[in-house]
Chains A and B, each alone.
Chain A
Amino acid sequence: MSQWDVVIGLEIHVRLALDSKLFSGASAQYGAAPNSQVSFLDAALPGTLPVVNERAIDYAVRFGLSIDADIPEVTRFARKNYFYPDLPKGYQISQMDDPIVGRGQIEIETDKGAKIVNITRAHLEEDAGKSIHDQYDDWTAIDLNRAGTALIEVVSEPELYSAKEAVAYMRAIYNRVTFLGICDGNLQEGSFRCDANVSLKPTGSETLGTRAEIKNLNSFRFIEKAINFEIKRQKQRLERGEEVVQETRLYDADKDQTRTMRSKEDANDYRYFPDPDLPALNITADRLAKQRAVMPELPEAKLTRYTREWHLPEDDARQLAYDVAMSQFYEQSQALTKAEPVDNAKFLITDFNALLNEQDSDIKSTNISPGQYAGLLDAMSSGEISRKIAKQVLAEMWTSGESAETIIEQQGLAQISDSGALQSIITQLIKDNPNQVEQFKAGNDKMFNYFIGQVMKQTKGQANPAQTKQILEELLSNE
């Protein structure tokens, strides 16, 4: 039995997928030549003033709506003051009181099933530039391209109780913002970064322990390792009777450990105050309605629709609903096929996915269009081909790029659904195998499958199974 409860809260920085920065209009493109995307405002030249990027407001609102959050009528920007060479103004424009997104929630998957995690708030802020310490021996280089790009910081309640849950939460937020299209999700480029507040308390205790903050985690793997290391470190200290010091720590992935970055004593007093350059912003009901209208359907809503209206099994529905690309492909193909949604889902999740795995590809980069795929589904649902043949045709579609129809026709893969033809094959089989007929009549049911197998063999698997079964039953009973 563990003696300690782990409590984790996350602050996630989501870079908004915008063409221009939060306040300057300069390009926010990643990867340009250093300092090539720096406006006068980004360099904090005297007299320059911020003008808010309205799209950033819309994106933040969209995020807020997606987590069912309170969106206050009035939101305000504040200055967070500290000196650092890659922070040109000497303050970061962020939000303190009246953030754009209030309390909300998101569902995560845990070992014990689904869990609701409360989100305290999410606010807009500008990113700092980059200090590059390792490029020159005697210098620190500053790249201000990133300075002023738009972030939302999503702050969770301290309601995550293991590294696994923290990762599940981070994934849920990641899926959400990429689903909404407000973040490009590029972890390497720092589009999605996370600070984790970790603390331990004696099992059952109501009071939270002293926390350490691990800064700047930008991979799902590292966050889990970093938190686990931190839990171990704090546990060791507590069990030795030492105190955990409130501090900021950095995770070193190479050594798989966290180390002190700065202690609480060195912590900045950020002296937040409302930014007088930016009047309070009214978020009108009209704006909310507009954003609601352009929001893609959320996974939760999709899940409900898939299970209630399309009668998908919960597992299948969940797999599709929470995967943007899959659900898109699924819905697009469903709109074009006569096949039942249930059958489409089943084939997509098992057979199509198997092919994608085999090809080391994914649904986003498949060269089979939803329309082509719908054609295949139609052939299957009409009974023209069996599921087994359909898999074969799909593989052929992948390599040749031809439509299902063409492949089925060229390779003569259509099921024999001609009852006359099936009837004559089966009549001949019965005639040729009197022993087996006798055994069947004597009660050996296995013999029925023997005949089915023979039909399939003779038709190279193209016989319509249902029809075959029906004709066989009929003719055998006549014997």
Chain B
Amino acid sequence: MINLSIRELNQLLEKKQISLPELSSIYLDRCQQFNPLLNALLHINDDIQPEQLLTADNATGLLSGIPLIHKDLFSTHGVRTTAGSRMLAEYIPPFDATVVARLNQAGMMSLGKANMDEFAMGSSNEYSYFGPVNNPWDLNRVPGGSSGGSAAAVAARLTPVATASDTGGSIRQPAAFCGITGIKPSYGRASRFGMIAFASSLDQAGVMAVSADDCGLVLEAMMGHDDKDSTSIKADPWSWQAPQDAAMQGLKVGVIPAWIEQLTDDDIKQSTLSALETLVEQGAELIEVDLPHAELAVAAYYILAPAEASANLARFDGIRFGHQCADKSDDINDMYRKTRSEGFGAEVQRRIMLGTWALSSGYYDDYYCQAQRIRRLISEDFKQAFSQVDVMAVPVSPEVPFKHGEKSDGVNMYQADQFTIPSSLAGLPCLSMPIQPAHNLPVGLQLIGPYFNEQIILTTAAKFQMVTDYHRQMPEAFV
């Protein structure tokens, strides 16, 4: 039951083999039962009344009545939204994020809010003020981040679907670590309104689910132009069509040999090569491409994202909302200092300082402007590559989920984002799908599409998932 797809759940509801309250309570019970093991959820909506949430407009439709969990980065009207930070530990938004509003409109049932790295900064979900999230495949290990709560919740089937956000890999890496499917659409596809900003030019809302088909259905409902977000693009929306068969004849898949060589973990390399082999077996043609400037991506990203974050997080000043230091302050600057030192965790403070420094007079040209140049060069690299191929298939992460506390070196953690950051900088749609595990832990393969072509990566993943069952596997403890 809990391993069913959205289409299958919809069939059960349509045929009245299960009622709405029954469906939501099955998942809610699992949330209550398993969350103490995972710490994936910061809020469980236990007084949910599904039938009251449906209207004439959304009582039917594939997503009607389907439960989901929102990453706690998405503002939910009247429901505490923390972004994983002490700063917002008591913050209750007076409005819904557009993504939340659209999924509500589609009739989806929000079961709760997912834990995350504070302000989406992190790749292990160890940087949440509310404690780390455990990986359902091995509770001693991290689920990845920053959308670690969403990923763990889907992997443990506390929900069939979760919203998530990706700035430099925050959907793809935890999806890979937790053995689920996660897509970050093109920058500008989904509205950022109501999504608490980390790095505005990179942040993008996306979906995590068991399968690419599920991702496609939910993404279709939540994307599209929004007047409230000037960076959301007015482009023709597409409707998700699941492929009929797994045939990939004529599909040109770009691979980057250098990136595969960089996989020092032989088991991960093997998994990756075998996944590529599966694509070939279905008729795809592998074509070697190169992104010559991609090796500069991590360095550029860790200038640009913190620079934007340093401004985006300036609003957390203890004046209008959010945490304010309890001690009496000498003056306004003292109040700012105390409030922000208490309200932000170490990683957030580190990035604010990095970003502030990169924008400071005397450094701006050398760092920020230089990083922007690199960003443009990487976009050009991708354009070149996509003149030869339809889709690219590359690794997600050079490592499998590591143990809690195993990585204490920030830069080491940053470097592991090397495969996810280039497509983020270029604003391209990309996803991670489960492939053959390594060391008994999940591994993902990243598919990257040309700008605004989410369908091609979703279709390719859905076909892959027709001939593999990695995405259907569940961590034993949660069966």
Contact = CB atoms under 8 A, between A and B. Distances in A.
A88 B193 CA distance: 18
Contact of A44 (B229, B308, B320): B320
Given A90-B315, A271-B361, A276-B200, A47 B230 contact: no
Interface stretch (B86-94, B176-184, B435-443): B86-94
B320 A46 contact: no
A73 B192 CA distance: 27
Contacts of B56: none
Contact of A47 (B197, B336, B359, B361): B197
B368 interface: yes
B7 interface: no
Interface stretch (A77-85, A216-224, A251-259): A77-85
A450 interface: no
In this complex, the member of A40, A79, A81, A91 whose beta carbon has the largest number of chain B beta carbons within 10 angstroms is: A79
Given A271-B361, A276-B200, A51 B94 contact: no
B197 A271 contact: no
A397 B173 CA distance: 84
Chain A facing B: main interface SS: loop
A84 B193 CA distance: 25
Interface residues of A, number: 29
Contacts of B332: 83-85
A85 to B, nearest CB: 5
B199 interface: yes
A273 B368 contact: yes
Nearest to B227: A51
A18 to B, nearest CB: 18
A164 B74 CA distance: 56
Nearest to A52: B230
A46 B83 contact: yes
B193 A48 contact: yes
B454 interface: no
A279 B356 contact: no
Contacts of B197: 46-47, 277
A79 B359 CA distance: 11
Interface string B284-320: 0000000000000000000000011011011101011
A245 interface: no
Nearest to A79: B311
B228 interface: yes
Interface in B53-82: 74-75, 81
Interface in B88-109: 88, 91, 93-95, 97
In this complex, the member of A49, A52, A277 whose beta carbon has the largest number of chain B beta carbons within 10 angstroms is: A49
B190 interface: no
B311 A273 contact: yes
B360 interface: yes
B201 A47 contact: no
Contact of A45 (B83, B94, B228, B231): B94
A271 B192 contact: no
A153 B18 CA distance: 63
A272 B314 CA distance: 14
A81 B310 CA distance: 9
Contact of B93 (A45, A79, A89): A45
B311 A81 contact: yes
Nearest to B340: A83
B321 interface: yes
B315 A89 contact: yes
B75 to A, nearest CB: 5
A420 B327 CA distance: 101
A83 B230 contact: no
B200 A47 contact: no
A276 B196 contact: no
Contacts of A84: 332
Contacts of A52: 230
A127 to B, nearest CB: 17
Contacts of A273: 307-308, 311, 359, 364, 368
Contacts of A142: 319
A88 B314 CA distance: 9
Interface in A253-272: 269, 271-272
B231 A46 contact: no
B201 A276 contact: yes
B195 interface: yes
A273 B197 CA distance: 16
Task: List the 7 closest A-B pairs by CB distance, nearest first.
Answer: A90-B314, A276-B201, A276-B200, A271-B359, A47-B194, A44-B315, A46-B196
Interface of B: 74-75, 81, 83, 88, 91, 93-95, 97, 192-197, 199-201, 227-231, 307-308, 310-311, 313-315, 317, 319-321, 332-333, 336, 356, 359-361, 364, 368
Interface of A: 40, 43-52, 79, 81, 83-85, 88-91, 142, 269, 271-273, 276-279
Given A271-B359, A276-B200, A277-B200, 16 more contacts: A40-B95, A44-B320, A46-B83, A46-B91, A46-B196, A46-B197, A47-B74, A47-B193, A49-B193, A52-B230, A85-B319, A90-B315, A271-B360, A273-B359, A273-B368, A276-B199
